[in-house]
Every structure is written in C-alpha cells, then in structure tokens.
Amino acid sequence: MDLEELGETDTDDFQDQIDSDSSLQAQKPAKPTKRRRRKTTIYVCLTNCKYAVLPEVCKSLGWRVVSEESNWDLYWSDRSVAPERLMRFNAFQRCNHFPGMYEISRKDNLSKNLNRMRRQYPEEFDFYPPSFTLPGDSIDFKSYYAKRKTKTVFISKPVAGCQGKGIFLFKSIDDIEVTEPQVVQRYINRPHLIGGLKYDLRIYLLVASVSPLRLFIYKKGMARFATQEYVEPTGRNLGETYMHLTNYSLNKKNDQFSYNTDMEHDDEGSKRSLESVWRVLRAEGVDVDEVWDKIKDIFVKTVVAIQPSLAHTHRTCLPNDKAGNACFEILGMDILLDSKYNPWLIEVNHSPSFNIDSPLDHELKFGVIHDSCVLLNMDPADKAKMRARQRADQNARLYRKSSAGKEQKERPALGTTTMEWEDEHMGDFERIFPCSAAKMAQYSSFSQDKALYGETTASKIRRTEIKRKMESVKEKAETERLAREGKPPRAAASADGHPRPKKKAPPKAASSSVKLSGQERFESLYSARPRAPKPVPRLAATGPNGGAFPSVFVAGESIEAHSERSRIADRLIRDRLITASGVREAIHKMLADPVPQMMANRPVVRAEPRHTFIQHQTVSGVYPQFTGSRDRPLGQNMYVGLGPVIRPLGPR
C-alpha cells in the first residue's frame, strides 16, 4: 500500500468517526438552559419608619423589608421626602409622599390657598373657618376684628406645628403679637357634642395620583374626644386645654382619658369609631349620607385647590413617570361638626400617626395601610417592564424615532387598566375623584382657573388688550371682504356673537387738581379714548441770505392710539420692575464709585504675552496703572475682569 492509499484510508475512517459522534450527540437530549429566576416579591425600605404596623402589613402581603442600600421597590417614610431625593429614584420605585404636599399640610399654606379660592368662589369654599396668616395678613385681621360686633373667640396655631403644641385661645387682639408667625382662626364655639364632650373626626384620604388626579376616601374613621366637659369659651376658661382641644397627644396626659379595649363597644373611651358617631347622628334624625357627601366634597376641593401646583412639581421631579403612580400619599383629614351638623375642615396632616394603642387603632390603621398598598397594584415585574421601556426609548432616540404618538395611544389604555384594577380591589375605600360628569365639570373649573395662579392686574389688562386686537383684526378683514363683494358692512360683534354696544365716552374729570395714584394712572393710560394725532409743527428754515429754503416736509406714518398706550404701559411696567429690583441704584452706585469697596482688597491676576506671573496686589494699587500704552500693539494690552468692570492693564 503506497502512501497515497494510506492517507485516503485514514481520512475516510476519521470522517466516519466524526459523523458517528455527531449522530450520537444528536440522539442525546439537550440540557435545559438555566433561566434567571424572576423576582416574585416586593422589597420595601422602612429605614425612616418607626411604626410597628408597617412591617406587619408587609408580612401579610408577602413583601420583604430591606435596608436603604438594597434595590427596593417602595420607600416608606414618616417624614416628607425632599425633591432632590425623588429625582434620584429609579423609574420603577415608589414613595409614600408627594413633593409639594406642604401646600395644604402646613397650616399657613392651607390658609393661604383656601383663602385664595374663597375670594374667587365664596360659596363653594366656605367650609374653612376665616383664617389669617400673620404677620402678612395682620391688616386684614385687624379689619376683621374691628368689624365684629360681639367679642369673637380666636384660636392661634403655629404655622408648622403638630400634636396641639403651641395652640391657645384668645379674645383680645392685644393678647397676641401680630408680628409673630402664626395662623389666627375664628374659633367654632358651638360644636356638636356627644355626652357633653367636644370631638373631631380623623378621616383618611388616599391621593393615588395627581396627574391625573385620583382620590379615595376611607369609609372607616376615628372620633377623638376631649376629656373635659365642654362649656362655651369665656374669659375664665380660655386656658382649659382638655376642654377645647381634641388632640390625642394632649388629652392622653389627662387622668380622665380612657382607652377603648373592646371593639364590641366602639362607642366608649376617648377614641371611638366613626360608625359610632354616625349612629348617634342617626338617632338625632340627621341624614348621615348628606353629611358624608359634604365631607367628600370638602376633601376634593381642598386637593383640587393645589392640584396644578402638585402636578407641576411632580412632573419636574419625576419626568419619566408616564403613568403618574410613582408617588402616593395617605392624608389625615381633621373634620369638626358644629351644632348644626355642618362639617368644617380644621387641618390636613401629611404624616398622620400610625401608632397603635388600642384594638380600634389596629383595625383602622392596619386596614387603611393594607388597602392602600393593594390599591396601588405594585407588580414585581415593574422593574423589568421599566428597563425594557427605557431600552426602547434609547433605540427610538438612536434612530430618531419619536415615541410621543405611541405614548399618547398607550395612556388611555393604561388609565383604563388602572381603573379596572381599582374597581376590583377597592376594599374599604371609596373613589371620590374622578366622579360624576356634573361634579367633574365643577371641579375642573376650580383647577383650570388661571386667574388664581399668579395673575396680576397687568397680565389681565394685557390679555384683554391682546384679545381686543385680535377682534379688531378680524373685523377689519371682514369689512374689507364685504367691501370687495360690494356688500354693506355688518355691525361689530363681541366675543359672544351679539352686537357690540356703543361705548360711552368716559366722564371728564371735575377738576384737574385731583391727584391719581400710580395704579390709577396706569389704568387710565389703557382706558383712555383713542385720540387723533397732534399736528407736527414745521420749523421755519432760512437760507444764508435770509431767504427761505424750499419747504420739503415728509410726514411719518401715524401711530395707532392703542399701540401707543400699550407701549407706554409696557414702559411703566418695565420702569417699576427695574426700580423694585434695585438695578438702577446698583448701576448708579457702581458708576459713582470707580473702585467698588467690596473688591478693593481682592488679589488681581496679571498676565503677560510671553510669560505669566501672579501679582498679589489690591485693586486700589492697580487702578493707577490703568493708563495703557499707545506704542504697544493692541494684542499686548491684557485685560482683567473685575466683576462688571473690565479694564486693560498697562505695561509693567
């Protein structure tokens, strides 16, 4: 056998062996590939939570409590969360506080926002006692105090206090310092009593989302009773804390305070169930459903008053939260019923106490937290979904594809899915917003009134003027069209389509010596009638021999009266802004003092074209050398910036 035959035989045998091994491997079953185990639980961070009921709720839901360093899904805190911290959250993480909720949780902000709404809608926002935030509202408070025929009792509260600390009653304005920060409120001296005791209602409100707004009220609640029999306030009993205040943290220090130890008797003790109060009201012939509807209306109006601000802050801190469910909040709303069964909003707590001292506490607070967590529909797969969405957004940006249209299509479906889940897992909650179409239209008018948010007199006038200009342009175009068609012009119509009535000439001033305020002068410029332009006087020009030059006069285009008024008004506004900001004074002071005092001892850096060195020298020592050199090229004159002053350094 030659070498060629040997090589061919060995090669064939080797190929046959490879084929046989391949067939054997094909016959063997393939090993299953190990898949990553998907996360099936929710991780909760309770580092800043002190209440023992939270771990109990997490255990009942199958959630795990982890540290702050872990990759948690829900962050629960007893305090508000700073916006800077929220900005660092991942897209799948949630928090139990909204940024900006202090607009109603602080007593001064609550008074400011509800008073603002009451000025626009006095009948709709009459559920909050007349309140004044001092010292800003000191003039209004003194005026209100002087108009009261009988001596009204007021209650003073710290602007950011809690648990009844720093609260006291007074009758005379001399008993308080109007220059100290505080909220002064008219005291409701005729509350509804049960067993001769004053009480208030603690009802929980779940804010599931602010954009869009979704509110849920918890059907169960708590009545907190004072521990001393109530008597209408007089000069002698204004200091009786246990009579006038119903705060649990204060009354538990009284010997008359009693705990409820049996849920079968929920109408006993200093803490009672909301249902026990409803039973008393029904026995007195009160329509409890009507009272409950009023309370729900109060809650919605209170949140709607700040909804635009909440939504703006939420979008700013969490721009990637497309569904609007990254935050939620359980608010403790305090309601007081007067002797006529009218509910009054007392205050809003953004971190209500979840401490448990009785079986009633446990049933109520465990239930509201548990039902809130279920209603939020937290899915362990949210993390994977968010990451997939982020990758899709990155690819869309890479290939310059806009995902705005896709998001617009997905948003209604997402909202429908959320509503369906909430309807099936409501628990003891009741949805109060969104609500019926009639109520929605009413609430929407409150939240969309732009005049309530930063509107000034100038902006109102400017908007009216712009609207009038647009109408005049339309009327002019319509008149020209009718003239081209040979039709008579129509009567000018207003914005509502009806003929516009002729404007009467403004009455002439009785005397020219009447002085107007700055605001009146400003408004008079806008409300003045259009005047014909004054004729421009011609100057007599003479030639060198006394003869007159040929008169050549070109008249400029006439300026419309409303344009001139608009220009003058803008100049007045700009002048006021510049004067108020202090820019004019600062410029005059800077020009008068060539060496600013604040920079007189600042070291100056001097640089040369070829070599650089630092000379520590005061500005006052360098300024005499600011003479420059005409012989040196322009490029060799180095410049140094001293704040707003830039001057060249001369030769050494």
pLDDT for the residue numbered 324? 81
pLDDT for the residue numbered 406? 55
CA distance 209 to 190: 37
CA distance 605 to 352: 58
pLDDT for the residue numbered 601? 53
Specify the residue for token string 């650089």: 612
pLDDT for the residue numbered 582? 77
Looking at per-residue pLDDT, the higher value among 320 and 206 belongs to: 206
pLDDT range class, residue 645, cuts 50, 70, 90: very low
Rounded percentage of the chain residues whose pLDDT exceeds 70: 68
pLDDT for the residue numbered 580? 75
**Residue (of 595, 639, 586, 589) closest to 618 by Cα position:** 595
- pLDDT per residue as tens digits for the range 441-489: 888 878 654 444 444 455 556 667 777 777 787 788 888 888 888 877 7
Q: Return the SS3 of 156.
A: strand
Q: Residue 517: pLDDT above 80?
A: no
pLDDT for the residue numbered 569? 76
Tell me the CB-side half-sphere exposure of residue 97, using CA atoms within 13 A. Answer: 23
CA distance 376 to 326: 10
Q: Return the SS3 of 349.
A: strand
195-199, 255-259, 574-578, range with greatest mean pLDDT: 195-199
- pLDDT per residue as tens digits for the range 278-301: 999 999 999 999 999 999 999 999
* Distance, CA of 396 to chain centre: 32
- pLDDT per residue as tens digits for the range 605-644: 444 444 434 444 444 444 444 444 444 444 444 434 344 4
pLDDT range class, residue 126, cuts 50, 70, 90: very high
- pTM of the entire structure? 0.64
**What average pLDDT does range 488-497 have in this prediction?**
56
Show Cβ contacts of residue 105 under 8 Å, excluding neighbours closer than 6 positions: 80, 331, 348, 349, 350
Centre a 10 Å sphere on the Cβ of residue 64 and count the other Cβ atoms it contains: 14
For residue 517, which amino acid is it? S
C-beta pairs of 551-556 under 8 Å, 24+ apart in sequence: none
- pLDDT per residue as tens digits for the range 237-279: 898 889 999 998 888 888 888 888 888 888 889 999 999 999 9
CB 80 within 8 A of CB 349: no
> In which order are the strands placed within the sheet that holds 74-75?
64-66, 43-45, 74-75, 94-95
Tell me the CB-side half-sphere exposure of residue 291, using CA atoms within 13 A. Answer: 23
**What average pLDDT does range 579-599 have in this prediction?**
70
Domains annotated for the chain, with CATH where assigned, are: 96-106+122-129+192-377+425-449 (3.30.470.20), 130-187 (3.30.1490), 596-648 (no CATH)
Tokens representing 290 are 């009507």
Tokens representing 210 are 């602010």
**Residue (of 98, 102, 101) closest to 325 by Cα position:** 98
Q: Residue 603: pLDDT above 70?
A: no
Partnered with residue 349 across adjacent β-strands are: 332
Show Cβ contacts of residue 513 under 8 Å, excluding neighbours closer than 6 positions: none
Specify the residue for token string 């909430």: 422
Looking at per-residue pLDDT, the higher value among 518 and 128 belongs to: 128
3-state SS, one letter per residue, for 40-77:
CCCEEECCCCCCCHHHHHHHHHCCEEECCCCCCCEECC
**What average pLDDT does range 226-233 have in this prediction?**
93
